[in-house]
Amino acid sequence: MKPLGTHLTLILCAILLFSACKKNPVGPPVTPNVQLSADYVTCTEVWLKIGFADSPGGGDYKITRDGSTVLTGTINGASTVVYDTTAQAKKSYTYAAYKLASGQVKEISPPLSVTTLDSTSHDFTWQTFNFGGDAGSCLLRDGTIINDTLVYAVGEVYLKDSIWQTTYSPNNLLTWDGKSWTTSRIYFYAACGPSPMVSYPTYGILPLSSKDIWIAGGGEITRWNGNSQSDPVCVESPMSFGINKIYGRDTNSVYAVGDVGNIAQYDGKAWRSISSGTSLAIQDVWGTVDAETGQSQVLAIACNRFTIDGIAVLQLSGNTVSNVQTRGLPPTVSSVWSANGKEWYVCGDALCKTKSLNAPWQGVTGIPPNFKECIRGNGPNDIFVVGDYGLVSHFNGSTWHTYPALQGELIYYGLAMKEDLIVAVGGITTGGVGGAATILMGRRN
């Protein structure tokens, strides 16, 4: 029998040998020089940022997912973003990046764990509400959701006056209290400057808070606190123009966009004109804020819808406007939206999206060919598109679903979505003649 000291010596040697093997593994080293991070994650895509800290000029790489190669290529510069488009919803993956030289692995990144988003449900319960229609064309153009018991819609609804039954008065603000809709009137100056007040049709609505709702009618904007309105302000750029949409995150930067390429910005004190560089009618404006950098990104889209004489995508930053390329977009555009500035969508004659404002727009499949009036959503896995002939389509992050039972002779011009509630607004077009205004409300089951 060997003495106890001999056994201890053998055990100690084994431990030292095992430790040495761990410190000096066979094969390329794992090193922070190869940097890999998740830039953006959806249900079916993982955007990966890869870079070589010790090679600012770039080099060749490959990326594995759970041990299998999914991407290969060359970095030109300090880093690049690449896309794994073969992921599945609600899955956890482990990625690794490899630096290559002459086809051989030289260094490996630390492992990166990523979990994709879950898809959302297509299952909604729908309610439809109609207003007016017996006094000529009524329609609603925009809406916003504050919460389940406070929703607004704007447009024009003509109803019989409660006293003079033969008189029809225009109502331009509809309010949902959780149980029913009420109609009311917002008043604007008949002409810019002090003049009689009238109830104009309204076009755009912007909620900066539950007590500060901005509403556009003609070339003016008023603010609604839930009970009363402020004095209207004439937006001059340099002259009054028809406002189509308004957008902003706070009172220090609100944009109004509209006819003949007009853009005006409110800086917390006054409105000022911004040169857009186009005479096309600006149809929509939307913006996002990067959660990490705090940087805002605002896009507007423009076209003359019935003459098909060009389109424009404009990027707004402060009081400057720059053009975004339009390659791949259809000849008529109507709405723009993004969840967070990573992917941008534009709809109209078709639905398109891009992962970079410098890259061509790509057509989105799986949705009917009806003209698409508006796109809005909660995030990359919860998006709605509405449009002509009652088009209502939902993207759950993996698939598009259209609701055929909702289709008919009507158009949804505006759309709002918040959590599990969607509101689409528009008008009935039976026989090609305008009729009642309509609101579609959907609640996810």
Q: How far is CA 215 from the centre of its chain?
A: 21
DSSP string, 42-101: -SS-EEEEEEETT-TTEEEEEEEETTEEEEEEEEESSEEEEEE----TT-EEEEEEEEEE
pLDDT (0 to 100) of residue 159: 84
For residue range 339-367, what is the model confidence (pLDDT) as tens digits? 999 999 999 999 999 999 999 999 999 99
Percent of the chain with pLDDT over 70: 90
For residue range 245-258, what is the model confidence (pLDDT) as tens digits? 999 999 999 999 99
The pLDDT of residue 160 is above 80:
no
pLDDT (0 to 100) of residue 4: 43
pLDDT (0 to 100) of residue 80: 95
Instruction: Please choose, from the candidates 199, 141, 142, the residue with its C-alpha nearest in 3D space to the C-alpha of residue 169.
Output: 199
Confidence of residue 423 (pLDDT cuts 50, 70, 90): very high
For residues 367 and 400, give the distance between their C-alpha atoms in angstroms, rounded to a whole number: 7
The overall average pLDDT reported for the chain is 91
pLDDT (0 to 100) of residue 164: 52
pLDDT (0 to 100) of residue 431: 66
Confidence of residue 169 (pLDDT cuts 50, 70, 90): low
pLDDT (0 to 100) of residue 405: 95
The pLDDT of residue 26 is above 80:
no
Going from the N-terminus, what domains does the chain have, and what CATH number goes with each? 34-115 (2.60.40.10), 124-444 (2.130.10.10)
For residue range 378-411, what is the model confidence (pLDDT) as tens digits? 999 999 999 999 999 999 999 999 999 999 999 9
Contact 34, 108 (CB under 8 A): yes
Which CA distances in Å does 52 have to 32, 49, 74, 97? 9, 11, 11, 10
Contact 343, 380 (CB under 8 A): yes
pLDDT (0 to 100) of residue 290: 80
pLDDT (0 to 100) of residue 281: 97
The pLDDT of residue 293 is above 80:
no
| Neighbour tally for 159: CB within 10 Å | 17
